[in-house]
Amino acid sequence: QDRFTVLIVGGGAAGITVAAQLKRQRPNLSVAIVEPSTTHAYQPGWTLVGAGVMSLAETLRQEGGLIPDGVTWLRDRVVSFQPDDKTCTLESGRIVEYRRLVVAPGLQLDWNKVEGLAETIGRNGVTSNYSRESCAYTWECIEQLDGGVAIFTQPPMPIKCAGAPQKIVYLASDYWRKEGRLHKTHVEFALAGDVLFGVPYFVPSLQKMVDYYGVDVRYKENLIRVDGAKKEATFQRVGTEETVTRRFDMLHVTPPQSAPDFIKSSPLANAGGWVDVDPATLRHVRYEDIFSVGDAAGTSNAKTAAAARVQAPVVVANLLASLDGRPQTATYDGYGACPLTVAYGKVVLAEFLYGGKPAPSFPYDQRSPSRFAWFLKTQGFPRLYWNLMLRGYDVKVPHKAIETA
Ligand code: FAD
């Protein structure tokens, strides 16, 4: 049996950031990260890989090089939690004891919830930016499509980066427009929800882009089946048993998503399966020595790396306070950000708090497509991620909530 003061489950965006900040503030703290993967991915880059703007290699780094100095890496995966004993069980059978636990395993992509999808993804014009294996194939599909039907899907919420399913709709459309192929391409965006974007403030700007490219938006249609060989996609009309099947030449799928199974089945989960934490302090509502950060946390913010960046210092402050017997004073405001790539060279930078309250960081109307925000998305944010966030520097870009009518 091993024992660490802080045990972190998951070495993704959230887990590495928390570990690095803990070590910066308390170099002697005993910290371990459980992470099975040897490759770490900058997932926000996959939208750009799918659009031919970034290479897949630029989004990947060796996990070993990102684990902060002095932090123990347990290359294993957590399979169960025993919060009353303050232990986790790993796949290898090893049992690890902690004083404080940080749960950051991200979310789970449920490819198998769409019949036939797993068998055809990466072939037959069926692709997804949500997977390391297929995001480069998205660009191949976009480049090769010379007219026809291109369908893009979005499953029920919550999903990570709720804007990503439509970012690629705009980039693909813009590419075909520039190549003179858009007029012979039927671009369709089929989404399970009934709004284009969850934050109403940004919807008119996005609707304008939908109209500009002539995208056929189909609300309340949920992808349930894909036949790769026949190139047919079947949707269920949400709230009914009715299904409709349409042919495609290219299909970009955003898979259904949920909390990881080992979280769902654990005593840590809330009714929805996510880690049951207080939305402000990010501390577990029943187990005082457990915190959660990133996509796995049962909070209502947009599940983004941007949210993890703002959550991490809150978890670190409250965790250290709890070790010292001080009160929990750090609070998270629900900040999340979604840089919507509405064209090559243009981004609508949506930033908002709990309740969908817009909270821009920059002194311009962030509803307008901006070249500056494109520069942030393609150059600024990746550097911020690798060089500052994952290295434990708490970059505070002050955002300010604004009142909307
Ligand atoms: P992850 O980064 O996914 O890391 C979870 C880690 O936990 C993984 O390394 C995994 O191997 C590990 N793990 C899983 N199970 C276990 C286990 N049982 N035991 C131990 N370890 C485990 N965010 C933005 O801010 N802006 C964007 O523009 C943006 N665009 C996106 C576009 C796409 C296509 C995608 C897919 C995501 C995008 N995101 C964006 C979302 C962002 O990538 C995630 O919100 C972020 O990575 C969440 O961090 P995390 O640490 O919670 O999860």
**304 C-beta closer than 6 A to ligand 1:** yes
Pick from 174, 341, 191, 185: nearest CA to 253: 191
Q: What is the number of other CB atoms lying within 10 angstroms of the CB of residue 222?
A: 22
Q: Please say which residue of 335, 353, 381 terminates a domain.
A: 335
Atom number, ligand 1, closest to the C-alpha of residue 9: 20
Dist. CA 79 → ligand 1 center (Å): 18
Percent of the chain with pLDDT over 90: 97
CATH number for 81: 3.50.50.60
Q: Is the CB of 9 under 6 A from ligand 1?
A: yes
Q: Are residues 96 and 150 in the same domain?
A: no
Question: Would you say the CB of residue 92 lies under 6 angstroms from ligand 1?
Answer: no
Is 161 catalytic? The answer is yes
Same domain? 244 vs 132: yes
DSSP letters, 118-138, are: HHHTTBTTEE-TTSTTTHHHH
Each residue's pLDDT tens digit, 52-99 = 999 999 999 999 999 999 999 999 999 999 999 999 999 999 999 999
Both 185 and 198 in a single domain? yes
Taking only Cα atoms into account, the Rg of the chain, rounded to an integer number of angstroms, comes to 21
Same domain, 184 and 269: no
Residues 239 and 278 in one domain: no
Residue-wise pLDDT tens digits, 19-62: 999 999 999 999 999 999 999 999 999 999 999 999 999 999 99
- pLDDT of 404 reads 81
- Within this chain, do residues 113 and 253 fall inside the same structural domain, yes or no? yes
Task: For residue range 233-243, list pLDDT tens digits in order.
Answer: 999 999 999 99
Q: Is residue 351 part of a domain?
A: no
Q: How far is the CA of 277 from the centre of ligand 1 (A)?
A: 18
Contacting residues for 304 by C-beta, under 8 A, at least 6 apart? 44, 160, 161, 336, 337, 338
Share of the chain above pLDDT 70, in %: 100
* pLDDT over 60 at 1, yes or no: no
Same domain flag for 282 and 193 = no
Domain membership flag for residue 211 = yes
Q: 157 and 229: one domain?
A: yes
Decide if pLDDT at 405 tops 80: no
Residue 386 lies in a domain: no
Both 120 and 251 in a single domain?
Answer: yes
What's the pLDDT tens digit per position in 350-370? 999 999 999 999 999 999 999
Q: Does the residue 34 lie in any domain?
A: yes
Supply the range of the domain harboring residue 317: 2-107+259-335
| Residue range 301-323, pLDDT digits in tens | 999 999 999 999 999 999 999 99
Q: 387 in a domain, yes or no?
A: no
Domain-ending residue, one of 257, 280, 302 = 257
What size, in residues, is the chain?
405
**Structural domain includes residue 312:** yes
Q: Note whether 211 and 304 are same-domain residues.
A: no
222 in the same domain as 267? no
**Separation CA 141–CA 233 (nearest Å):** 16
Closest residue to atom 46 of ligand 1, CA basis: 305
pLDDT at 143: 98
Q: Whose CA is nearest to atom 32 of ligand 1?
A: 44
Work out the mean pLDDT of the chain and round it to a whole number: 97
Tell me how far the alpha carbon of residue 14 lies from the centroid of ligand 1, in angstroms: 8
Q: Where does a domain end: 335, 356, 379?
A: 335
Count up the domains in the chain and report the number. Answer: 2
User: DSSP secondary structure string, 5-40?
Assistant: EEEEE--SHHHHHHHHHHHHH-TT--EEEE---SEE
- The question of whether 338 is a catalytic residue gets the answer yes
- The answer as to whether 350 is a domain residue is no
Q: Same domain for 166 and 302? A: no
Residue 280 domain flag:
yes
Complex-level ipTM: 0.99
Nearest CA to ligand 1 atom 38: 44
Work out the end-to-end distance of the chain between its first and last CA atoms, rounded to an integer number of angstroms: 57
Residue 13 in contact with residue 308, Cβ under 8 Å?
yes
Pocket test of ligand 1: the residue of 160, 261, 376 to mutate, having most ligand atoms within 8 Å of its CB, is: 160
Any ligand 1 atom below 6 A from CB of 163:
no
